[in-house]
Amino acid sequence: MSEQKTVYLADYRPYSHVVESVDLTFRLHPTATRVVARLSLRQNPARKDRDHLRLDGEGLKLISCKLDGQAITPAVDERSLTIAAHELPDGPFILETEVEIAPEANTALEGLYMSKGMYCTQCEAEGFRKITYYPDRPDVMSRFKVRIESDLPVLLSNGNPVASGEGWAEWDDPWPKPAYLFALVAGDLRAHSASFVTASGRPVDLNIWVRPGDEDRCAYAMDSLIRSMRWDEQVYGREYDLDVFNIVAVDDFNMGAMENKGLNIFNSRYVLASPETATDDDYYRIEAIIAHEYFHNWTGNRITCRDWFQLCLKEGLTVFRDHQFSADMRSAAVRRIEDVVTLRSRQFREDDGPLAHPVRPESFVEINNFYTATVYEKGAEVIGMLKSLVGDAGYKRALDLYFERHDGDAATIEDWLKVFEDATGRDLSQFKLWYSEAGTPRLKVEETWDNGVYTLTFTQKNPPTPGQPIKHPKVIPIKVGLLNPNGDEVVPTITLEMTRAKQSFRFEGLAARPVPSILRGFSAPVVLDRKAPPEERAFLLAHDTDAFNKWEAGRALAKEVMADIALKGAPVSPAWLDALAAVTFDDTLDPAFRALCLRLPGEDDIAQTIHAMGRIPDPAKIHAARREMTGALAIRLGEGLSRLYKDLDDNAPFSPSAAQAGRRALKIAALGLLSRRDGGKLAASAFARARSMTEEVGALSALLEVGQGQAELVSFAARWGRDANVMDKWHALQIAHAEPAEAAAVAARLIGAPGFDWKNPNRFRTVIGALAANHAGFHHRSGAGYRLVADWLLKLDPLNPQTAARVSTAFETWPRYDAARRKLARTELERILAAPDLSGDLREMAERMLAAG
C-alpha cells in the first residue's frame, strides 16, 4: 500500500473542469468487466487558471483513451489518469476511456463487486474511482446515462429505465449527481412491487428486489417505504422525483444501506423480515433505515455535500429527519430515550477517547474512517438544538429556504447555517462551535432558594480533545421544568439559553422550594453533573411530567448504585429497588417505557462514568455489580413478576406495531428476572412455545444468562442454520452471555468454525462486535479479548480494510483502564501497526488510538 496523504478542509478548491454529461457502458464479466466512459467536459469557469485534467482511478486496467475521437496516451499512475493542460482543447471536448476490472476479485466491497452471483456497487465515499476514471468528488455533479450488457435477467441503474432488450438495458438519470450516488445491480432477482402516487399526482413504481425465495419477507420494508414517502410530503413538503424507486437487498455489504439515486442498495438484514425471523428491534431498524435512505433523496442527493468534510450536512440532517419520522410512527418518548441511549453509548464514548473529532472534521487521511457516531448522531443532535433555539416555525422557514436556495447544489455547513440566519434573523456564529469543536460539554448546576426566588446557576466545561486543547463556551438550550414537593408541576417546560461559561436563571413567585427537572427531552448533547439525593431521583421517577427525564431519573439512580457497588462494595440501594418496583407495576405507564426502565445501564457506560469521576474502572467489578443488582431486583419484584408476565403473555395475533413490541419487551424483561428465581424453567417453556423471533431470542437470552439453554441453542441452530442473518443472533447471544474469562474463547470457536463466512461483513461484525460489547470479556485481564480481536482485524484487513478499520474502534476506550490492561491493549495496537502491507484505513485508526496512550 502506498502512503496516503492527509486532506485538509482549508485546501478546498473547485474542480478544474465541468462534466456536462456521462455515458457509461458496462459489459459485465466476473473477472473481466469492460467499462466505457464517455465524458463531456469543459473548463470550469469558477477556476481562473487553466489546469490539467486529473481523473481519479484505482485498480483499473486502461484499455484505451480517446480525446475527441483521437487515441491518446495519458499519464497513468496508481491513483489517477492525467492529461496535461497544453494537450487539452480550448473549448468543450469528449474524453472516452475503456477500462477492465474484476468484480469477482473485489473483496473490499467498494466499487463494482459480486455477492453470491449478483453484481452490485458501493461508491460512497470513494468507490467510483474503482469502476472508471472520473473526478470522484461530490462537488462534480453530472447527468448519467448507463447501458448494461449481461445475460443476467435483472439489470438496474439510477434514474428511469429507457430501453431494454435481450441481454441489455439502458437507464437515464435526469438529475445531476455526484459519482458517489452511482449504482448498478445485475442478478437473478425477484421483485416485491407496489405503486405510489405523489401529492402532485406522479405515479411511481416501487420495487424491492431480492433473491428468489425471499419475496415474501419484503412487505414490512415496502410498507415503511410508502409511509416514508407520504411523511416527507406532509412534514417537509418533499416529493419523489423519478418514475421508479428501486431497493435491492444484498448479503455482502459494508454498511447498513446506501441512498444511490433511485436505486437504494441495502444490507439484506435491513430489508427482510417476517415474525418468525425478525425481532421487534429488527422491525424498528428496517423502518428507520428505509426512511433514512429515502429521505436522502432530498437531503443528500438533490442537495449534496461540497466535499467530504461536510458529511454531517447530509447525515446529521437525515438522521434528524429519520428520528422525527420514527417518533411520529411510534412512541416519541420511547424513541427519544432509545436515541439518547445510543448517543451516549457510541458518541459520548467516541468523544471521550482518542478518536474524538468535531462534527465537521478539518482533516482526514481516509474518509471511510469518518462515518462515525459523531458525524451522524451528534450531527443530528446539533440540528435538534438548532430547532429548539429557532422554534418549530423558524425551523420550517429555514428548511423551506434551504431546499429553495440550494436544490442542485453541493453545499456546505456555512450554507446550512446561513439559511437559518436569513430565515430567522439569528446570529449563529457562536452556535457554529458545535460543528468545529469536539468533545462533550459538562454542565454543572448549583441552586439557591431565597425568599421565593429560586436560582439555577449553570457552569459549562468543555474538555480538551486530541488536537483541540482550548475550547470555547457553547450555546446550550437547556429545557427546564419545576415541580412542587407534592409532585405538581409549577413551571412547565421552558428553554433557557446558555451562552456563557457560567450563567444564572431566576424563577420568582414560587410558594415552596421546587424540585428541578433539568435538560428535559435531553435538549442538548451534554453530560449533566448534578448531585442529587436518591430520594429526589426517586421523586422525579415517580412524578416528572417529561417522559425523558422521568426515565433519566431512574437511569441516573441506577448508575450511581452500580458505581457505588463497583467502587466501594456498597449494598444495592433499597431506594432504587423501591422506585423501580413502583414503575414496573404501574399499569398506567406504557409497557415499552417500563421495559426501558428495567434495562440496567451497560457496563461500558458505567466504566465511562467511573472514568469521568477520575477513577479507574475495573471491568470485573462492574460486571459483578450489574449481576448483583439484577439478582436483588428479581427478589424485590417478587411474585408480582409472575403476575406481570402472565398478564402480558396473551394470544393476540402478531403485529410489529410499537404497542405490541412494547408489551413483548416488558414480558421478556420480566422473564429474564424470573429466570433468576426459577433457574430458567419458565424461559425453557417460553422458548418451546415462542411465536415470534423476539420471543425466541428473549427466552434463549434469559436461559443463557442463568447458565442454561444448551439444548435450545442446538434446536435454534437446527431450525435456522441456513438463514445467516438469523444465525447472527445465535452467535451474538452466546458471546454476549459468555462468562468474562470464556468470552474470547467462545468468540474464537464461533468465528473459526468450518463453514463460518467471516469474510462477510455482517458475520464479522456480529462476532467481533459481540465480543467487544461483552465489556468484562473483551477487557478481561488475561488479554485474550484484545488478542483475538487484533488477530482477526489483521486477517480481515487485506481483504476488506473498511470493515476492519470500523471494527477496530473496539479499542477506542483502552486509555481509561489500569496499567496492566493498557499495556496489553498497547501491545496489540502496536502489533497491528507492525503488520506488513497494513491498509491505510486500519493504519490511520491504530495510529490515532495509540497516540492517546
Q: Which is nearer to Zn ion, 318 or 573 (CB)?
A: 318
Q: Which is nearer to Zn ion, 264 or 318 (CB)?
A: 318
Number of shown-chain residues binding Zn ion (CB under 5 A): 2
Which 3-state string (H, E, C) describes 158-178? CCEEEEEECCEEEEEEEEEEC
Cis bond leading into 125, ω under 30°?
A: yes
Query: Cα–Cα distances in Å, from 718 out to 274, 688, 711?
Result: 19, 14, 11
Could you tell me which of 179, 135, 131, 141 has the C-alpha nearest to residue 26?
A: 131
Cα separation, 749 vs 746, in Å, equals 5
Cα separation, 107 vs 114, in Å, equals 9
Q: Which helix (H) or strand (E) holds 20?
A: strand 17-27
Burial of 620 (0-12, 13-18, 19+ CB in 10 A): middle
Closest approach, Cβ 287 to Zn ion, in A, equals: 15
Q: Which is nearer to Zn ion, 315 or 560 (CB)?
A: 315
Question: Bridge-partner residues for 142, per DSSP?
Answer: 177
Which 3-state string (H, E, C) describes 806-842? HHHHHHCCHHHCCHHHHHHHHHHHHHHHHCCCCCHHH
Q: Which is nearer to Zn ion, 260 or 675 (CB)?
A: 260
Q: Which is nearer to Zn ion, 317 or 438 (CB)?
A: 317
Could you tell me which of 424, 412, 343, 345 has the C-alpha nearest to residue 386?
A: 424
Cα separation, 643 vs 459, in Å, equals 47
The residue annotated as part of the active site, out of 293, 366, 377, 381, is 293
Closest approach, Cβ 336 to Zn ion, in A, equals: 20
Closest approach, Cβ 605 to Zn ion, in A, equals: 26
Q: Which residues touch 819 (CB under 8 Å, ≥6 apart)?
A: none
Closest approach, Cβ 292 to Zn ion, in A, equals: 6
Residue 71 DSSP SS3: strand
Closest approach, Cβ 367 to Zn ion, in A, equals: 14
Q: Which residues touch 49 (CB under 8 Å, ≥6 apart)?
A: none
Closest approach, Cβ 833 to Zn ion, in A, equals: 31
Closest approach, Cβ 315 to Zn ion, in A, equals: 5
**Three cell numbers, residue 338:** 432509545
Beta strand segments in 255-335, E: 257-258, 263-267, 304-305
Q: Which is nearer to Zn ion, 115 or 318 (CB)?
A: 318
Could you tell me which of 588, 679, 689, 570 has the C-alpha nearest to residue 634?
A: 679
Question: Bridge-partner residues for 170, per DSSP?
Answer: 147, 163
Q: Which is nearer to Zn ion, 318 or 813 (CB)?
A: 318
Closest approach, Cβ 387 to Zn ion, in A, equals: 19
- Residue 293 annotated to the active site: yes
Query: Cα–Cα distances in Å, from 433 out to 463, 476, 658, 672?
Result: 14, 11, 37, 44
Closest approach, Cβ 266 to Zn ion, in A, equals: 12
Binding to Zn ion by CB under 5 A, coded x per residue (else -) over 316-355, reads --x-------------------------------------
**CA torsion, points 717, 722, 726, 730, in degrees to nearest 10?**
30
User: Helices (H) and strands (E) in the chain — how many of each?
Assistant: 28, 31
Q: Which is nearer to Zn ion, 371 or 756 (CB)?
A: 371
Q: Which is nearer to Zn ion, 221 or 644 (CB)?
A: 221
Q: Which is nearer to Zn ion, 246 or 318 (CB)?
A: 318
Closest approach, Cβ 260 to Zn ion, in A, equals: 11
Binding to Zn ion by CB under 5 A, coded x per residue (else -) over 648-687, reads ----------------------------------------
Q: Which is nearer to Zn ion, 238 or 474 (CB)?
A: 238
Closest approach, Cβ 271 to Zn ion, in A, equals: 16
Q: Which residues touch 821 (CB under 8 Å, ≥6 apart)?
A: 779, 781, 783, 814
Q: Which residue's entry shows cell 455489504?
A: 253
Q: Evaluate whether 786 touches 824 at the Cβ level (below 8 Å).
A: yes
Q: Which is nearer to Zn ion, 311 or 329 (CB)?
A: 311
Closest approach, Cβ 172 to Zn ion, in A, equals: 25
* Residues 286-315 close enough to bind Zn ion by CB under 5 A: 315
Binding to Zn ion by CB under 5 A, coded x per residue (else -) over 589-628, reads ----------------------------------------
**Largest Cα–Cα distance of the chain, in whole Å?**
89
Q: DSSP for 571-639, please give it.
A: PPPHHHHHHHHHHHT-TTS-HHHHHHHHSPPPHHHHHHHHHHTT----HHHHHHHHHHHHHHHHHHHTT
* Residues 708-747 close enough to bind Zn ion by CB under 5 A: none
Could you tell me which of 603, 606, 608 has the C-alpha nearest to residue 812?
A: 608
Q: Which residues are catalytic, by number? A: 293
Interface contacts to Zn ion, rule CB under 5 A: 315, 318
